[in-house]
Amino acid sequence: MYTQSFNVPDGTAPGPQAVPTAADPALQTHFDTVIDADGKIEPRDWMPEAYRKTLVRQISQHAHSEIVGMLPEGNWISRAPSLKRKAILLAKVQDEGGHGLYLYSAAETLGTSRDQMFDALHSGKAKYSSIFNYPTLTWADVGVIGWLVDGAAIMNQIPLCRCSYGPYARAMIRVCKEESFHQRQGYESLLTMMQGTAEQKAMVQDAVNRWWWKCLAMFGPPDDNSPNSVQGMRWGIKRISNDALRQKFVDATVPQAEVLGVTLPDPELKWNEAKGQHDFGAIDWDEFWQVVNGNGPCNKERLATRVKAWDDGAWVREAALAHARKQEQRTMKEAA
Amino acid sequence: MNAPALKEWPLWEVFVRSKQGLEHKHCGSLHASDARHALQMARDVYTRRQEGVSIWVVPSASITASEPDSKDAFFDPAADKVYRHPTFYEIPDKVGHM
């Protein structure tokens, strides 16, 4: 559910962009024709190397984001305020794990392996959505993540359902179907808190204040500073620009905040009658890039938690394989 | 042990029948150690909201697929056989629906 809209180069020192190699012109022409006709590219079709690389990077970053995205909310499963909220949160976190699995499978159709992707994540080489490098301090954060973080992710992900790469588009359709529950449960949880005590209301407002700007940054750098976007648009991977999606998100969220009874922490946020949309303040991109490059409040903790879970599960993976081999040998012996 | 230890679980393709009377439809893939494990994983990954009443899992390596490059040549023989479609035949209106 949590797309990394910006699709940044993995690693901290991005090298020069790969220059697409001259391929068979007939194949390239066929590919271009399919893309221009808004058609789909499937795993075994010929595709330019740069298209393949871009997709592997974007889909694997997206998958990593789903997996790491389980951690901030997972922290609250054992502290949920009621059995109902606990069951809901468990289901949501399980969905995120499922979304990660759909996306890893889609990336694998491009010729990368699950082990390669895990290695990239666990070694710290691969990026994931920077939003998860912030802490979830109170129960209200869980509601706000559902409402705003998932809300922003939905905005990003709906256009991806029309992505030119078939397996990615199909995975996104599945993800988007499940995503709406995530946003609604978060918003409803906040509505409940807003009918509570003054402290509970303050808790919601505080969480909104802390997450709002980070959610706006989730849409990625402004269009004039997002060189990859142009190529992504050309290839039908990206359909709507970062700024256009961000604007859509702001316009959709303002009335929801009013119903909820919270203010969005931006003094410059106001309706612009002439433009028919909201104006809003400047995003702190320096902070965004700091977090993307590993210096956010929770980068180290998240990665360490993920690596520990992977390492702790090693014996299960090995035992399952050993069991499968034993069963196979037993069957062969019986057949002999 | 003769075979080298696989680092990752093998890949399986998952087919789900959404309801009785419909065909199994490909819905994705997953890694699992063996067939039974793959079924269990498929249930958790692809049918969390009652999307299915039956699941097939097939080792991905067992699937043989047609070549996308020879798509035209492979499917060409059907292209010029319009007489295989009912609309090829003119029947007088007075015959009514046929």
pLDDT digits (tens, 9 = 90+) for B15-44: 999 999 999 999 999 999 999 999 999 999
Task: Tell whether A308 and A277 lie within a shared domain.
Answer: no
Which residue in B37, B45, B69, B70 has the most chain A C-beta atoms within 10 A of its own C-beta, making it the best mutation to test that interface? B45
User: Cα distance from B57 to chain A (closest Cα, Å)?
Assistant: 15
Q: In what order do the strands lie in the sheet with B11-17?
A: B24-31, B11-17, B54-59
Task: Tell whether A195 and A302 lie within a shared domain.
Answer: no
- pLDDT score for A119: 95
Task: Tell whether A115 and A238 lie within a shared domain.
Answer: yes
Q: Is A161 exposed, middle or buried (0-12, 13-18, 19+ CB in 10 A)?
A: middle
CATH of domain B3-95: 3.10.20.520
User: Mean pLDDT across the stretch A14-32?
Assistant: 68
d(Cα A311, Cα A306) in Å, to the nearest integer?
9
- Residue scoring higher pLDDT (A156 or B73): A156
Q: Does pLDDT of A19 surpass 70?
A: no
Among A2-6, A53-57, B12-16, the minimum mean pLDDT is found in A2-6
Task: Tell whether A219 and A308 lie within a shared domain.
Answer: no
Percent with pLDDT over 70 in chain B? 91
Which helix (H) or strand (E) element contains residue A27?
A: helix A25-36
- Cβ contact A166:A178 at 8 Å: no
**Amino acid found at A86:** K
- 8-state DSSP, A33: H
Backbone angle region of A328, left / alpha / beta, with phi > 0 → left and psi within -120 to 50 → alpha: alpha
φ, ψ at A191 (rounded to 5°): -55, -40
CATH number at residue A94: 1.20.1260.10
Q: Does pLDDT of A1 surpass 60?
A: no
- Cβ contact A65:A129 at 8 Å: yes
φ, ψ at A297 (rounded to 5°): -60, -25
Q: How confident is the model at residue A305 (pLDDT cuts 50, 70, 90)?
A: very high
What number of C-beta contacts closer than 8 Å exist between A and B?
A: 54
Q: How confident is the model at residue B73 (pLDDT cuts 50, 70, 90)?
A: confident
- pLDDT score for A244: 96
* A44 closest CB neighbour out of B9, B30, B68: B68
Assigned domain for A329 exists:
yes
d(Cα A269, Cα A208) in Å, to the nearest integer?
15
Assigned domain for A2 exists:
no
Percent with pLDDT over 90 in chain A? 86
Tell me the pLDDT tens digit for each residue of A201-210.
999 999 999 9
Assigned domain for A12 exists:
no
Q: Does pLDDT of A331 surpass 50?
A: yes
Give Cβ neighbours of residue A183 (< 8 Å, ≥ 6 apart).
Answer: A146, A147, A150, A151, A154
Indicate yes or no: CB of B44 within 8 angstroms of CB of A98: yes
Task: Tell whether A132 and A45 lie within a shared domain.
Answer: yes
Q: For chain B, what are the domain ranges?
A: 3-95
- Cβ contact A48:A28 at 8 Å: yes
Q: Is B68 on the interface with A (CB under 8 A)?
A: yes
Q: How confident is the model at residue A21 (pLDDT cuts 50, 70, 90)?
A: low
Indicate yes or no: CB of B33 within 8 angstroms of CB of A101: no
Among A20-34, A61-75, A173-187, the minimum mean pLDDT is found in A20-34
**How many independent structural domains does chain A possess?**
2
Nearest 5°: the CA angle A261, A262, A266 is 145
- Cβ contact A262:A42 at 8 Å: no
d(Cα A41, Cα A44) in Å, to the nearest integer?
8
Q: Is A244 on the interface with B (CB under 8 A)?
A: no
- pLDDT score for A196: 97
- 8-state DSSP, A295: I
Task: Tell whether A54 and A97 lie within a shared domain.
Answer: yes
State the average pLDDT for chain A. Answer: 92
User: What is the domain extent for residue A314?
Assistant: 295-335
**What is the DSSP annotation of A55-97?**
HHHHHHHHHHHHHHHHHHHHTTGGG-SSHHHHHHHHHHHHHHH
- Residue scoring higher pLDDT (A328 or B12): B12
Task: Tell whether A206 and A273 lie within a shared domain.
Answer: yes
Q: Does pLDDT of A65 surpass 60?
A: yes
Assigned domain for A13 exists:
no
Task: Tell whether A312 and A185 lie within a shared domain.
Answer: no
Residues A118, A120, A126, A131: is their CA dihedral positive or negative? Answer: positive
Tell me the pLDDT tens digit for each residue of A107-117.
999 999 999 99
- pLDDT score for B1: 37
Q: Does pLDDT of A89 surpass 80?
A: yes
Q: How many CA atoms lie within 13 A of A144 on its CB side?
A: 29
Identify all chain B residues contacting A170, using CB atoms and an 8 Å cutoff. Answer: 28
Q: How confident is the model at residue A13 (pLDDT cuts 50, 70, 90)?
A: very low
**What's the gap between Cα A275 and its chain centre?**
30
